[in-house]
Amino acid sequence: MQRPEPRDEVEMLALMLLIRRFEERASQQYQAQKIGGFCHLYIGQEAVVVGAVAAGRDDDYVITAYRDHAHALARGTSADACMAELFGKETGCSRGLGGSMHFFDRSRHMYGGHAIVGAHVPLAAGMAFASKYRAEDRVTLCFFGDGAINQGSFHEALNLIALYKLPVVLICENNLFAMGTSVKRSTSLKQIVDRAEGYDIPGEIVDGMNFREVRDKLAEIVCSIRKDPHPAFVEIRTYRYRGHSMSDPASYRTKDELEKYRLDDPITRLRAQLTREGKLTNEKFDQIDKHAKETVLAAVKFAEKSPELPLERLYDYTFINRAKP
Amino acid sequence: MREITYRQALNEALAEELERDPNVFLMGEEVAEYNGAYKVSQGLLERFGPKRIIDTPISENGFAGLGVGAAMVGLRPIIEFMTFSFSLVAFDQVVNNAPNMFTMSGGQFNIPITFRGPNGPAHQLGATHSHATEPLYANAPGLKVCTPATPRDAKGLLKTAVRDDNPVLVLEAELLYSSKGMVEPPDEELLIPLGEAEVKREGSDVSIICYAQTVPLALAVAARLEDEDISAEILDLRSIKPLDEKAIFNSVAKTHRAVIVEQDRPFCGVGAEICYRIQKNIFDELDAPIVRVSQEDVPMPYNERLEKAVLPNADKLIAAVKKVCYA
């Protein structure tokens, strides 16, 4: 199995910037009450999903929890479709029926967007089961937070995944807090990666603020799974700059802690690496950033002018084939 | 037509659908090497192999969710719960993931999955193992729920369920696995649509609306009522959702009296919904208030005499019929 050509790092930086600018704009639109419900932002964690997606193929299965805007964007879902979803519009990636926590994009193999903590890990097992059943070499990338690892569905799924040797990368985005509860207060283990050992799944710790480390480690794992289906677990250590959701001021952590992580910002770091290596100029960076900002601003305009799903069509989305109860 | 058991009928349905579509697989506890806790999957491992007949650990939430995930990417899983009482451990997958996915994804992901297994009170299994789950699941939009009472219905409904592109629950009657009935020969395709009730016995004085384990009860009671010159029509719902309103209204419009005998509990039970629909739509047809016969509203006792008292039975049903007939 050939490893795919490494994707252009400047493009990956642009993707991380797009995610950040998208989330900043979502935050602003939420405050302007254009977006309802719960809204969980990914700012600070961009290197995780972009690194992981850069390590896989476009037809690998991606599934995640409710902090999911970035996963759709990273998979190539347009900012328009993502913003329209937040606005509850028919042009959204889930027709405005899913909202912030339920982004789906079938054509880009983005399988959600799941808001019951841990409940999607069994789904990932099923997707990987299907790959193995059909003797395909797709890998399932299953993202979840540190809060999911104490949920029963997670444990049941890990056992099934290990037992049936399913091709899944279990990607724990450890941002240190499950809502307001720190890992230290929720988890009996010294380190999360040790959960994998209990199921005989190989596990590794990865620096989630370092795009290259995430990509390289994941590429190695994905490549080995393609050769011979098996599960792997990575604990990716990261940090969210914002609260758990828009309604959370994050008073359970200190400014010093936040500042420490901000200094290690994944976008700043990749930018510095590329600049040092002569692959990126300040002008080019500014141009990329300007483009990202314009893209999300255009997405807001698109979302605003998009129609809502007509009420009479709601039953079309309850059962397929219009079988009304 | 030949006579086979309810268990054999389900087994034939599984085998025929596994044969027909390579995307169909059967997964659950003890379904493969043990041949099924109730022997419904007898011989399937031998015939279809371990790739398609898959034993699981005791992890209902895990394997129910695995089924939903596999269905998202195009397989057609049949997930067996050893009993639907155990499906409560997987409630989140059955209620939150399977039926919501199609809506939440804006129509991108339908879930063609069948959840099946025995349901309803059996015999002296106590409170944890005696659940009639149909009102719980019928309450979730996006799920279809059927409750076959005869071998023929069991085969025809299960085959239809497997071919449906939505999540369908086939709630099998735990006490009827060994019951026998006439079924079309195996070379004749038997598909019974979801949402079609069946008049199991014609009558003119009262409609007894029943499903699953209360169907044989109602038929036995109808025979006894005949001796008392009461002609009871037995309407077997077969599916709880979609509900065959038309068949219910037709029968009640004919007899003008209705008794609903259900295997679940009274509060928010299946009968409550049917009562509501009858009075809302054909109030003028009724010559008497509708009476429901259900379980008592208590967790199921183990004690045999007490269990009998909690369940619907012939005496309760006869009393209900006489009440609506002012007899």
pLDDT in tens, B239-272: 999 999 999 999 999 999 999 999 999 999 999 9
- Residues forming a β-bridge with B172: B118
**pLDDT digit string (tens) for A219-264?**
999 999 999 999 999 999 999 999 989 889 888 999 999 999 898 9
Q: pLDDT grade, residue B327 (50/70/90)? A: confident
Mean pLDDT, range A69-96, rounded to an integer:
98
| Together in a domain, B21 and B162 | yes
Whether the pLDDT of residue A325 is over 50: the answer is no
| B199-202 long-range Cβ contacts below 8 angstroms, 24+ apart | B199/B233, B199/B234, B199/B235, B199/B236, B199/B247, B199/B251, B200/B149, B200/B234, B200/B235, B200/B236, B201/B232, B201/B233, B201/B234, B202/B233
Whether B188 maps to a domain, the answer reads no
Q: Report, as an integer, the average pLDDT of A146-172.
A: 97
What count of CB pairs under 8 Å joins A to B? 158
Instruction: Note the ipTM here.
Output: 0.95
Q: How many domains does chain B have?
A: 2
Q: Which residues contact B15 (CB under 8 A, 6 or more apart)?
A: B43, B44, B47, B48
A323 belongs to a structural domain = no
Looking at the structure of chain A, the number of domains it has is 1
Task: Evaluate if residue B199 carries a pLDDT over 90.
Answer: yes
Do residues B30 and B148 share a domain?
A: yes
Is the pLDDT at A183 greater than 60? The verdict is: yes
Which pLDDT band, with edges at 50, 70 and 90, does A322 fall under? Answer: low
Nearest Cβ partner of B106 from A104, A120, A127? A104
Residues B67 and B107 in one domain: yes
Please tell me the predicted confidence (pLDDT) of residue A269: 96
Are B178 and B320 in the same domain? no
% helix / strand / coil in chain A, to the nearest 5?
Answer: 50, 10, 40
Alpha-carbon gap: A305 to the closest alpha carbon of chain B (Å): 19
In a domain? residue A308: no
Residue B193 in any domain: the answer is no
Tell me whether residue B129 is one of the annotated catalytic residues.
yes
Residues of B with Cβ-Cβ distance to A114 under 8 angstroms: 97
CATH number, residue A171: 3.40.50.970
Question: Both tokens of residue A164?
Answer: 């049936």
How does pLDDT run across B23-74, given as a tens digit for each residue? 999 999 999 999 999 999 999 999 999 999 999 999 999 999 999 999 999 9
Give residue A1's pLDDT band: very low, low, confident or very high (50, 70, 90): very low
Check whether A164 has a pLDDT greater than 90. Answer: yes
**Residue B288 and residue B146 share a domain:** no
Is the backbone peptide bond immediately before A249 cis, with ω within 30 degrees of 0? no
User: Which of A98, A130, A324 is opposite residue B106, by nearest beta carbon?
Assistant: A98
Length of chain B in residues, anyone? Answer: 327
Percent of chain A exceeding pLDDT 90 equals 89
Among B149, B142, B308, B127, smallest CA distance to B241 is for: B142
**Percent of chain B scored above 90 by pLDDT?**
99
- Indicate yes or no: CB of B74 within 8 angstroms of CB of A130: yes
Residues of chain A positioned with their CB less than 8 A from the CB of B26: none
| B203 and B83 share one domain | no
Whether A3 is covered by a domain: the verdict is no
pLDDT digits (tens, 9 = 90+) for A53-64: 999 999 999 999
We report the CATH number of the domain holding residue B115 as 3.40.50.970
Which B residues, 121 through 180, put their C-beta within 8 Å of a C-beta on chain A?
141-142, 144, 164-166
Distance CA A23, CA A43 (A): 7
A289 token code pair = 């950033």
Q: Give the mutation candidate from B53, B63, B104 for the A interface (greatest A CB count, under 10 A).
A: B104
Choose among A96, A126, A319: nearest Cβ to B166: A319
B209 shares its domain with B177: no
pLDDT tens, residue by residue, B92-116: 999 999 999 999 999 999 999 999 9
Residue B134: which domain range?
Answer: 2-183
Backbone angles phi, psi at B166, to 5 degrees: -115, 165
| Domain span holding position A271 | 9-302
Q: What is the CATH number of the domain that holds B229?
A: 3.40.50.920
The last residue of one of the domains, among B129, B156, B183, is: B183
Cβ count near A284 (within 10 Å): 15
Whether B146 and B235 share a structural domain: no
Using CA atoms, how far apart are residues B238 and B244, in angstroms rounded to an integer? 9
Q: DSSP letter at A105?
A: B
Instruction: Note the pLDDT tens digit of each residue in B156-186.
Output: 999 999 999 999 999 999 999 999 999 999 9
Q: Which of B12, B129, B134, B262 is catalytic?
A: B129
- Whether the per-residue pLDDT at A271 is higher than 70: the answer is yes
The full DSSP string for A70-103 is: HHHHHTT--HHHHHHHHTT-TTSTTTTSS-TT--
CB proximity under 8 Å: B 281-310 to A: none
Residue A47 domain-assigned?
Answer: yes
| The pairing of beta strand A168-174 with beta strand A177-178 | unpaired
- Does residue B227 share a domain with residue B158? no
Angle made by CA atoms B295, B297, B298, in degrees to the nearest 5: 100
